[in-house]
Amino acid sequence: MVRMLTYARAARAWLAAAAALTAAVAGAVPALANVPLTRISSDPFDNATSQHATEVEPDSFSFGSTIVSAFQQGRFTDGGSTDIGFSTSTDGGATWHAGSLPGITTFVGGRFSRVSDPAVAFDARHGVWLIASLPLLGTSGAGAIVSRSTNGGLAWGSPVVVSAASGTDKTWIACDNTSTSPFFGHCYVEFDNNAQGNLIQMSTSADGGATWGPSLPTANREAGIGGQPVVQPSGTVVVPIDNANETAVGAFRSTDGGASWTGVTTIALIHAHTEAGNLRSGPLPSAELDGAGRVYVAWGDCRFRRGCRANDIVLSSSANGTTWTAVSRVPIDGTRSGVDHFLPGLAVDRSTSGGTAHLGLSYYFYPVSRCTQATCSLDAGFISSTNGGATWGSATQLAGPMKVTSLASTTQGFMVGDYFSTSFANGTAHPVLAVARPPVGSRFDEAMHTPATGLRAPLAGTAGEVAAAEPVPAGINAVNHGDARTAH
């Protein structure tokens, strides 16, 4: 049944939409909203060799009503952390159970010096939750490992070795959870080997992560960093990834269950603005897919800003992992706003797809891009779309302002993380993010938080929705990140 708006209501809706569009073009920052946050973990360690209390770089994954997040605890200045922490909700984000993974570092009964780069997956065929991470000996990557949970992410076993290679970096994991897929139950770990020029490596498990196959390169033995595999309902694995210099984002695939991998297809060149205030950040991709298997990739990019003076979050998508849409801008703020956006965490509700796909995007931002270490104000925001990214609702501020000096210090700058994640559960989005309060003496207060209740996307076509596309202004001045780097 079609319900007609009264003239007055229509006028109010039109004015609200016009005001939102004007604000987006003129450059208004996201409005402050009353979004209460729940602290879901805190660094429990006190070893004198790393920084406490710090938690950074969360990933999360959801399946049904369960959400599992994982993150670094007790960040070392020159790489890695004391251990990987986890926090699990079995009731759609209402309550959380936190802990630390056993058997990895010497601080928890393991043999490694440190650990970094956690990523979460669920294997529906074998009923196993998996957290992949990067072990370190000293400050050097020492392969790739996976921790397993068979009781819903509440307790974890000692790690399983995926690779024992040295010089590794940036682990990630995904599983094939489509029961009709020919490779249902296959899980895939991606990492790169900095000691071999950031050579891309993939390993596959078909038994719930208990054992892993050989580490395989792409067809052309390409280099890259920050790959995030996703698995389509057909069983095709698509891995969006940056090149080793973070000057382009591309993707490669496997159509045979991880037995072989194609070469990398370029999605787009990256035009990246370097954040002020000595903040550690970079244009690593955040990748997700909808229920039909369409792959979405987001990253920070300044192509829509004259002179590359600030980053937007930009988006491209593909149905097959080889042909990608033109890069579009997520219209959080206007191109003349001076607001700088970075470190995206993209989610797609897999119960939706196509033109009605629900996207949720968390990100960090500076309200004023041109700032200094003393004046930069770090905030976190969220924005969503209910039509596959064609239009977006109004942005919401989740946290901040934070001083960058309240964050863990690293040799590459002050750190909240190199990547982030948002997960949908029961139709609502659940970002997990690092939030910092001022240190007390020498002890930090940087911990994992999530909104107390899930975030719902506005209905498409409501007041405040803004189209994603805008012309590219002239005068782009892209930043080249230089040589291949290690980023753990």
pLDDT in tens, 178-190: 999 999 999 999 9
Angle at the Cα of 127 from the Cα atoms of 147 and 292, rounded to 5 degrees:
105
CA atoms within 13 A on the CB side of 202: 32
What residues contact 174, with CB distance under 8 A and at least 6 apart?
A: 121, 187, 188, 228, 229, 230, 231, 237
Residue with tokens 């957290």: 131
**Closest to 145 (Cα-Cα) out of 109, 181, 191, 180:** 191
Q: What is the mean pLDDT of residues 194-206?
A: 97
Instruction: List the beta bridge partners of residue 225.
Output: 242
For residue 106, give both structure tokens: 């010497």
pLDDT for 347-388, tens place per residue? 999 999 999 999 999 999 999 999 999 999 999 999 999 999
**Span between the terminal Cα atoms of the chain, in Å:** 55
Q: Indicate whether 4 pLDDT > 60.
A: no
Q: What is the mean pLDDT of residues 143-157?
A: 98
- Alpha carbon 111 to its chain's center: 28
pLDDT at 13: 36
Q: Indicate whether 474 pLDDT > 90.
A: no
Strands (E) located in 176-247: 187-193, 199-205, 230-231, 237-242
20: confidence class by pLDDT, cuts 50, 70, 90:
very low
Q: Indicate whether 271 pLDDT > 70.
A: yes
Considering only residues 141 and 26, tell me which one the structure prediction assigns the higher pLDDT: 141
Q: What is the mean pLDDT of residues 305-333?
A: 98
Domain boundaries defined on the chain: 11-467
Helix (H, G, I), strand (E, B) or coil at 156: coil
Strand order in the sheet with 286-289: 286-289, 295-301, 312-318, 328-329
Q: What is the mean pLDDT of residues 467-479?
A: 47
Q: Which of 20-34, 309-323, 419-433, 462-476 has the lowest mean pLDDT?
A: 20-34
pLDDT at 303: 98
- Alpha carbon 487 to its chain's center: 15
CA atoms within 13 A on the CB side of 311: 28
pLDDT for 30-82, tens place per residue? 444 568 999 999 999 999 999 999 999 999 999 999 999 999 999 999 999 99
215: confidence class by pLDDT, cuts 50, 70, 90:
very high
DSSP letter string, 42-85 = ------TTS-TTBEEEEEEEEETTEEEEEEEEEE-TTS-EEEEE
- Calculate the average pLDDT of the chain: 90
Q: Indicate whether 467 pLDDT > 70.
A: no
406: confidence class by pLDDT, cuts 50, 70, 90:
very high
Q: What is the mean pLDDT of residues 335-355?
A: 97
Share of the chain residues as helix, strand and coil, in percent rounded to the nearest 5:
5, 45, 50
pLDDT for 436-459, tens place per residue? 999 999 999 999 999 999 998 765
Share of the chain above pLDDT 70, in %: 87
pLDDT at 486: 67
484: confidence class by pLDDT, cuts 50, 70, 90:
low
pLDDT at 487: 72
pLDDT at 3: 31
pLDDT at 488: 85
Q: Is the peptide bond before 395 cis (omega within 30 degrees of 0)?
A: no
DSSP state of 101: -
H/E segment holding residue 33 = none
Give the ranges where 247-338 is alpha helix by DSSP (H).
Answer: none
pLDDT at 23: 37
Helix (H, G, I), strand (E, B) or coil at 107: helix
What would you measure as the largest C-alpha separation in the chain, in angstroms?
Answer: 70
Q: Kindly report the CATH number that applies to the domain delimited by 11-467.
A: 2.120.10.10
For residue 349, give both structure tokens: 């509700």
